[in-house]
A and B are shown apart, each in its own frame.
Chain A
Amino acid sequence: MSDSSEASPSSSRPAFWRNFGRFLGNAALESLDGGKLFYVWMFCLTAVFLVGANAWATQVRDGMALSNMSDHVSWALYIANFTFLVGLAAGGVMMVIPAYLYHDDEMHDIVIIGELLAIAAIIMSLMFVICDLGRPDRFWHLLPPFGRLNFPVSMLSWDVIVLNGYLFINVYICAYLLYMRYLGLTPDPRWYVPFVFLSIVWAISIHTVTAFLYCGLGGRPFWNTALLAPRFLASAFVSGPAFIVLAIQVIRRAVGRHFGDGPIRTLVNIMRITILVNLLMVISEVFTEFYTGGAHTSSARYLYFGLHGHNELVPWIWSSIFLVTTAAVLMLLPSIFTRSWMLNLACVLAFIGIWIEKGMGLIIPGFVPSTLHEIVEYRPSAIEWKITAGIWALGLLIYTLFIKIAAGIVLNRTKMHAIPDEPTAADASPSPVPNS
């Protein structure tokens, strides 16, 4: 948001932390307020979430046997979504870099949309991990000093730390900026700019560490490639901006104000490069796999062409390649900037394409064929789809509420009543949503 270096008037200081509880209350109430469409949307998301919550509770009670996972395919739909969502969270940083590293002022105004996405995505990815645990009641074993976190040896312990750290950093930045705005004060750069730069480094770390989870396993040749982390980042920097562009489009409709043309242009320019880099890396990997051949190619052959008559994943991966390639072509067309339907379509195609590629297309072939070269296929069970849909619904619900809160504060609808609406306070910081 606003990055004015002017110090806030000291006269407003007394209200500082005392009113934080009131801020949260006001924000919560404001977030639950909306038109008919908003209530329908929230009702549907809640309904889907409840179905997922019930499915999860049943899975915990009766055991993971309700999923279609097995000792051969021991991670599947949940971990696939987890991996993708970590990328989505990291992709949110693609707004922060132009805003803070390149001083793109227009991007500054809406960078919070990306940061809030990062928060929602991390919450979702943590929920997917919890749903994948056989014993969620023992999660406290991860928490020192009561538990025993196997740090630094286990990559999963790194992941626990970086994901929670990223969540904390983004919650802090968003809460600080919105609260200052709510109080009518100018944010002090000393209190958030260092964290913004930390979040840039951290965003890269979360997806790198998540890639290391897989590529550190010598017994699984499909994952055991140094290209995995760069591929993760390239695809994250497609899916993140794609989602943010779509979010901006929706917010523009809801808020009824014309903003975000510049940021959308920047995001499309970012995606034009990252989507091509992503495709190039896919080609590089496919080349080394198939040109060399041998036993190590089994998983890739299973993924792309099927192995010994087993071809569960083949339609998935080819639809992913088709979606991403089409999105890349659309994005490269100059008319993407003028035709918003084309832009939306390209973003949707890229998002779904990466979801398949970084999800099922990455996790399942790691297990098929198994380490002893047995082929056991996997197709998600109804309960897995329900839990997955439930978590996505909750994530979208959280994101909607976050955006509503942010919009309420930024548009001066939610604010601290104790402080009079002085023009000085508003003028000190440039309006985050410029009228045009």
Chain B
Amino acid sequence: MSSDSNSGCGKEDCGCVSRRTVMKGVGVTLGAAAFARAIAPLTEWAQNISADEFLQKHYKELSLIDLKVVLRRLEKETKEHYGADVTISDTKPQEGVKFGYALNLSVCNGCRKCAEACHLENNHDRPSNQSYIRVFEMQKGSMDMEQGNAHYDKPVPQPDKFYMPVQCQQCEHPPCVDVCPVEATWKEPDGIVVVDYNWCIGCRYCEAACPYHARRFNWTKPVIPKEEINPDQGYLSNRIRPQGTMEKCTFCLHRTRNGRLPACLEACPTGARVFGNLLDPNSEIRWVLEHKRVFILKEDLGLKPQFFYFFDS
């Protein structure tokens, strides 16, 4: 200790406390109190996080019983936070199925019904009008997306334009999965890249890595009126995502794994969308891949998307 601080009464080691030491103590105490006050919002925030949620294991480490408990807890929390009765299921991938999606640019008219259906089906935040699909109005004769416009506001289709919806391309080599530091996102056996919303730490590295702008972050707690909530939910797909986590298109796996079609396809009025099992030689998607002039976006990156574009002629 410096000799200064022992000089309270002028005697060395007399055991009494100097004025300076008292002032230091007061200063440190005041500082600590001010700090506690400053971080008070954290306690309000922590009230919304249960111990079970905090300690929840990674999806792949949950036993069947654990998973059931988690699903029931999430349903209860949805009721508490949003007032809606929902059913959250966890349908596993089917054997011998690998999903693929194809989109006919010759018939897409840019109506954005697909983006709207995605918004409703996947319980997206209402104020931001979020959707996993972005539709670009493109100049005919060019594939240069820099000339495209995702914010067009005219009757469609315009005569000199064509329209290109972009969503998650479910890459064979997804860079978003590689970069995730906590394995919160991975590729399922049926080819769908999913996110464990309860494991994601919100670092947004996957969003930086995705070349298709396919990931969305929950910058705030999603706002959805109770009556608009889609009650048919999946753990890895359309359940309401927590604040501060990443989400993405899952080919509506809560529907498609149960034999239904993605919401965007059902909503498409022109029949531009084709969805199916790439491993089934008799599927419609296989027919498209074999008979149409098909291309994929940003092929040079070598990510092998399972989302294909084609033209009729």
Contact = CB atoms under 8 A, between A and B. Distances in A.
A63 B209 contact: no
Interface residues of A, number: 66
Contact of B199 (A67, A69, A136, A138): A138
Nearest to A129: B203
Given A50-B38, A64-B219, A141-B199, A32 B210 contact: no
B184 interface: yes
Interface in A95-111: none
Interface stretch (A8-16, A116-124, A332-340, A363-371): A363-371
Contact of A142 (B2, B46, B201): B201
A134 B181 contact: no
B144 A156 contact: no
Contacts of A218: 175, 211, 301-303
Given A63-B220, A147-B182, A373-B148, A74 B244 contact: no
A218 B211 CA distance: 8
B245 A134 contact: yes
Contacts of A51: 38
A85 B196 CA distance: 31
A57 B208 contact: no
A32 B28 contact: yes
A219 B298 contact: yes
A374 B182 contact: no
B204 to A, nearest CB: 4
A154 B210 contact: no
B56 to A, nearest CB: 10
B277 interface: no
Given A32-B28, A63-B218, A295-B146, A220 B208 contact: yes
Interface residues of B, number: 68
A13 to B, nearest CB: 24
Nearest to B39: A57
Interface in B31-67: 31, 34-35, 38-42, 44-46, 49, 54, 58
Contact of B166 (A30, A75, A372): A372
Interface in A55-101: 56-58, 60-65, 67, 69-72, 74-75
B210 A160 contact: no
A295 B143 CA distance: 12
A356 to B, nearest CB: 21
A37 interface: no
Contacts of B35: 50, 53
Contacts of A367: 208
Given A295-B146, A371-B211, A372-B136, A57 B245 contact: no
A155 B38 contact: no
Nearest to B3: A413
A51 B38 CA distance: 7
A302 B208 CA distance: 18
A36 to B, nearest CB: 12
A153 B44 CA distance: 36
Contacts of A148: 58, 182-183, 199
Interface of A: 26, 29-30, 32-33, 46, 50-51, 53-54, 56-58, 60-65, 67, 69-72, 74-75, 129, 132-139, 141-142, 147-150, 153-157, 160, 213, 216-220, 295, 298, 366-367, 369-374, 408, 413-414
6 contacts: A33-B5, A62-B41, A64-B244, A71-B213, A71-B215, A135-B202
The 7 closest A-B pairs by CB, nearest first: A134-B202, A219-B211, A134-B244, A63-B220, A156-B181, A61-B45, A65-B219
Interface of B: 1-2, 4-5, 20, 24, 27-28, 31, 34-35, 38-42, 44-46, 49, 54, 58, 134, 136, 144-146, 148, 150, 166, 175, 178-184, 199-205, 207-213, 215-221, 242-246, 298, 301-303
